[in-house]
Amino acid sequence: MPDDEWREETRASYNTVAKSYAEFVTGALTSDPYLAATLNLFADLLPPGARVADVGCGPGHVTAHLAELGADAFGIDLSPAMIDLARETYPQLTFEVGDMTKLTLPPVAGILSFWSLIHIPDESIPPTLAGFHRALNPGGVLLLGFHAGDGTRLKTEGYGGHPMRVHVHRRQPARMTEWLTEAGFAVETTLLLDQHTKSPGAAIFARKP
Ranges of each domain in the chain? 3-207
pLDDT per residue as tens digits for the range 68-119? 999 999 999 999 999 999 999 999 999 999 999 999 899 999 999 999 999 9
Per-residue HEC secondary structure of 25-91 comes to HCCHHHHCHHHHHHHHHHHHCCCCCCEEEEECCCCCHHHHHHHHCCCEEEEEECCHHHHHHHHHHCC
pLDDT per residue as tens digits for the range 37-55? 999 999 999 999 999 999 9
pTM given for the model: 0.94
pLDDT per residue as tens digits for the range 181-205? 999 999 999 999 988 888 899 999 9
CATH fold group of domain 3-207: Rossmann fold (3.40.50)
Stronger pLDDT, 158 or 165, i.e. the higher one: 165
Average pLDDT over residues 141-168: 93
* Whether pLDDT at 16 is above 70: yes
* Whether pLDDT at 1 is above 70: no
Based on the number of CB atoms within 10 Å of its own CB, is 107 exposed (0-12), middle (13-18) or buried (19 or more)?
exposed
**59 C-beta neighbours (distance < 10 Å), count:** 30
pLDDT per residue as tens digits for the range 136-146? 999 999 999 99
pLDDT band at 158 (very low <50, low <70, confident <90, very high): confident
Which among 149, 121, 157 is positioned nearest to 16, based on CA atoms?
A: 157
